[in-house]
Amino acid sequence: MLSHVDHANPERIPLEACIESLRGRLEAVSRIQGGHTYFQEELRIFNKVANDQGWFLPSAPSELSLPPSDEGNEHQVWFRESHGTFLKATWPGFFGLRVVYRPDEESKASPIDYLERWLLHNAFFADQVRFLGVVPTPDGNRLIIEQPAIAGIPATSEAQIRDFFIGNGWKPFTSDGETAFFDPENGKSGSVCILFHIY
């Protein structure tokens, strides 16, 4: 089996390779059982692939022992001034929420959903988010990513964010009282819509 760790830069695990490995395993399990995978099953699949591919970090990044620069629903965040990046660690055992899900599905995102969102984020917004690996904790895994710090003026209102997405062809909708957007060019024929929340 090929290793998906970038040996030229061991701190980088290509998101494309991660998703390819994970989706391949999900599709195989779905074919065998004749239906969709479920949350706990996706956790097991992720852990197996992460272990096989060497994604578990031998130790947590040193920043995790410091107070975070910021935190939100999905991450704790540390600014890495010397790298010009933000280090983000998911909360233990929590990888965000799904915006759209079937009635028989868990609303919580799996680690597979989480990494797929970052891959799509990179593709649609020309970002360079990198997956650094997994830190196991007694309360569940923490996924570690690094995102370039971008200088600019933050959007100050939901209207500015809405105008940006709509102006770029995205369609708004509401899910559980939150505004989200999908790209109709990549969300047709029943395939997964590309969704972004406004928090």
Residue 123 pLDDT: 85
Residue 155 pLDDT: 67
**pLDDT above 90 (res 136):** yes
pLDDT tens readout for residues 57-81: 999 999 999 999 999 889 999 999 9
Find residue 97's DSSP bridge partners: 108
**pLDDT above 70 (res 186):** no
Alpha-carbon distance 158 to 76, whole Å?
23
**pLDDT above 50 (res 95):** yes
Q: Which residue has the tokens 């923490």?
A: 142
Of residues 195 and 155, the one with the higher pLDDT is 155
Find residue 172's DSSP bridge partners: 181
**pLDDT above 70 (res 10):** no
* Contact in structure between 25 and 44 (CB atoms under 8 Å): no
Q: Which residue has the tokens 């209207």?
A: 159
Of residues 191 and 167, the one with the higher pLDDT is 167
pLDDT tens readout for residues 162-180: 888 888 888 887 766 777 7
Mean pLDDT across the stretch 138-145? 96
Residue 60 pLDDT: 95
**pLDDT above 80 (res 131):** yes
* Contact in structure between 133 and 13 (CB atoms under 8 Å): yes
> Out of 13-17, 118-122, 143-147, 154-158, which region has the weakest mean confidence (pLDDT)?
154-158
